[in-house]
Amino acid sequence: MKKLILSIVLISSLLTSCSGLGEEKRILDTFEGYKRALLDQNGLLSVDFVTKETIALYQQYLDWAKTATGEELAKLSLINQIQVILIRHSCPQDVVLELDGKGIFIYAVDRGWIDSRIVVNAGLTDVTISANKAHGFIVQNGVKTAEKFHFIKQDGKWRFDLSRIISEANSLLAKMVKESGMTEKQFIISCSKAISNETVSETIWDPMVAED
């Protein structure tokens, strides 16, 4: 009887271990899939690899681009302001009115707005899974860093949580503004110009859609 119980425990442990390895592979596959789609500027493919939270964030960017005033934008984080101004500057009004969060994310990837340098040379190691959430440490040039990429399992599939990276990027941008000697507005305009290669009008701070 004791041997039977021991055998059951060992088999259970083995199955759990194999299941964990399978989930880790799925996470790594998601990361590699997102990376390839981003490098290819394939928005339609990349959107299937990101979380619902990421799409919800891009929906918020779209809503702000439509109606937020200059005063309202100034209250947002620096990274959020850059995203909104980029939409206003580079996306025609009729397109903005047609798109939703998923659509504007696809539009952004297709046009290279999302910096692929974040993932192009990055690897993932020491993946930790907790229920439907996971993270792995970023590897750069073969060296493990203290930074992490995050994933959420949604609709039975592991998805890359780009929204976490966006929120964490704000402190880095604030440092860049300080080192540049520019004001926040000047820095935002400079970023938008660099991405679009076009002059940015001061009217960019005005809402795209007039409120009724």
Q: Confirm if 58 and 108 have CB atoms less than 8 A apart.
A: yes
pLDDT in tens, 147-201: 999 999 999 999 999 988 887 777 788 888 888 888 888 888 888 778 777 777 7
Identity of residue 109: V
* Residue 209: closest CA among 64, 60, 55: 64
- Measured CA to CA, the distance from residue 50 to residue 37 in angstroms comes to 11
pLDDT in tens, 76-132: 999 899 899 989 988 999 999 999 999 999 999 999 888 787 787 889 999 999 999
Count of CA atoms in the C-beta half-sphere (13 A) of 89: 25
Q: Confirm if 16 and 24 have CB atoms less than 8 A apart.
A: no
Q: Which of the two residues, 141 and 200, has the higher pLDDT score?
A: 141
At 162, phi and psi to the nearest 5? Answer: -65, -25
Query: Per-residue pLDDT for 18 more than 70?
Result: no
